[in-house]
Amino acid sequence: MIPIILSGGTGSRLWPLSRQQRPKQFLPLSDDTFSMLQATIQRLDGLGLQAPQLICNEAHRFLAAEQVLNLGIEDFRILLEPIGRNTAPAIAIAAIQAASTESDPILLVLAADHLIEDIAEFHTSVKAAIPLAEDGKLVTFGILPKTPETGYGYLEIGEEVGEKGYRVKRFVEKPDAATAKNYLESKRYLWNSGMFMFKASRYLEELEKFRPEMLSICRSALSSGSEDMYFTRINSEIFATCADESIDYAVMENTTDAVLVPLNAGWSDLGSWNALANVSTKDEAGNTPKGDVLMEGTLNTYIHANNRLVATLGVQDLIIVETKDAVLVAHKSHEQDIKKLVEQLKQSGRHEHINHREVYRPWGMYDSIDNGPRYQVKRITVQPGAKLSVQMHHHRAEHWIVVSGTAKVTNGENTYLVAENESTYIPIGQIHALENPGVIPLELIEVQSGSYLGEDDIVRFEDKYGRA
């Protein structure tokens, strides 16, 4: 069995922590050590599965690869979506690739951003689904509902299939509050988890039956793609012509072989701040403080302080999230409208929905600690053995001051080492490169000066990470 982990999405309802370039699946939301993606991979331990295949956005490729490598896994693959086309085409690409390399493997399709608290029960449900998948069924996992939730789709339970399964009588869209209450009381409906299990061939057969054009496009996009490091690149021009549809719409609601296995393992999709608050430890007043927090007369409030002291006085039912460049204060009853704030950021041409002040790159990261009309100051971290691209800038000069480690600098025709407490200068128009030849992270301060300091003023001549 091959785990297929869907790692797309931007998690905009968890802004300002989740952003386009570092969305929630790459953040340690429910765990202070591991990201949601890493936790998803770790909970597969003990099931005897093959190495995971990830499906993620092109922009997240190095972030995803780094997080998998940090778990000590090396034989994984990452399918890169050049453009988002929802889950049906993404899973089709994974199934086509899996079917070409294995003898019709079973695929366990998981989302990278779900919380599952009871790992043993999760394993039990996965094992119960295997005979159904081997018998040609398309299995989904239905979550036993605890509350009349209006934010999830539902599955209506049909007749029993095998020892642990049930036919899916119908898929139901997100209901209103009264309907959700009726579903909960009837005990005939489960939450739709968005997790699946089936043979690669069976999914492709059903896709051929219900969405033949989608399957044809996916086959063509994959066959004309390329392999690079850990990555499988899909032809962007061909894939862009594919329909944007979920697996539910394209296949599961149409097939006669859809079955469900109940899952009661403390599941949450952590799609909102309230969802995160509900699974977090609370104090006696119902508050969830994370980070440097001081409270007085505060009730039922979620506070996430990343970088500085956040103090509250005489408030209740709030969501407060502080990052280096943005602070969110919202009433819990309005959390679904956070997307509207993100849309305002987009329309106004701002960047706080795209990147944090700390920006991750395949070679490390940088933090823009200060800026003005003609200058910008960054703290740069370069990982051991990593190298920035050979590049030049038309509009800015750069001063580099090494704080710790040793830098190997290419400056025009010269290459030399710069040690701690030493500096060097890169003039405008000079071809240059920065490398960490050591075994510890290289920390340096970069002071940029010039008439234009945008990240698009980079002309790359050589790049070990395949960037344009």
Tens of pLDDT, residue by residue over 363-400, are 999 999 998 999 999 999 999 999 999 999 999 999 99
Q: Which residues contact 180 (CB under 8 A, 6 or more apart)?
A: 148, 149, 150, 154
Give dist(CA 234, CA 219) in Å, integer: 10
Three-class DSSP category at 311: strand
Q: Which residues contact 79 (CB under 8 A, 6 or more apart)?
A: 53, 54, 55, 56, 90, 93, 94, 97, 231, 232, 234
pLDDT tens for each residue of 110-124: 999 999 999 999 999
Residue type, 126: V
Closest CA to 286 of 296, 277, 294: 277
Please tell me the predicted confidence (pLDDT) of residue 420: 96
Please tell me the predicted confidence (pLDDT) of residue 84: 87
Q: 349: which 2 tokens?
A: 């041409």
Please tell me the predicted confidence (pLDDT) of residue 200: 94
Please tell me the predicted confidence (pLDDT) of residue 14: 94
Helix 87-101 to helix 212-223 angle, to the nearest 10 degrees?
A: 60
Give dist(CA 209, CA 362) in Å, integer: 41
CB 325 within 8 A of CB 352: yes
Strand partners, 310: 293
Q: Write the DSSP string, 91-132.
A: HHHHHHHHHHHSSS-EEEEEETT-EES-HHHHHHHHHHHHHH
DSSP letter assigned to residue 387: B
Helices (H), 187-258: 200-210, 212-223, 236-239, 247
Neighbours of 439 (CB within 10 A): 9
For the chain, the straight-line distance linking the first and the last C-alpha, in angstroms and rounded, comes to 36
Please tell me the predicted confidence (pLDDT) of residue 58: 85
Domains of the chain: 2-268 (3.90.550.10), 284-344 (no CATH), 358-462 (2.60.120.10)
H/E element, 61: helix 61-69
Q: Note the Cα 464 to chain centre separation in Å.
A: 24
Chunked into runs of 10 residues, the chain (468 residues) has average pLDDT values of: 90 91 89 89 93 90 89 90 91 91 88 93 96 95 90 91 91 90 91 95 95 95 87 92 93 94 92 89 94 96 95 97 95 92 94 88 91 94 95 96 97 96 96 96 97 90 80
Please tell me the predicted confidence (pLDDT) of residue 298: 97
CB 258 within 8 A of CB 155: no
Q: Note the Cα 451 to chain centre separation in Å.
A: 36
Q: 134: which 2 tokens?
A: 């081997």
Three-class DSSP category at 401: strand
Please tell me the predicted confidence (pLDDT) of residue 131: 95
DSSP letter assigned to residue 375: E
Instruction: Give the pTM.
Output: 0.87
- Tallying the residues shown for the chain, one arrives at 468
Give dist(CA 244, CA 248) in Å, integer: 12
Please tell me the predicted confidence (pLDDT) of residue 400: 97
Please tell me the predicted confidence (pLDDT) of residue 333: 92
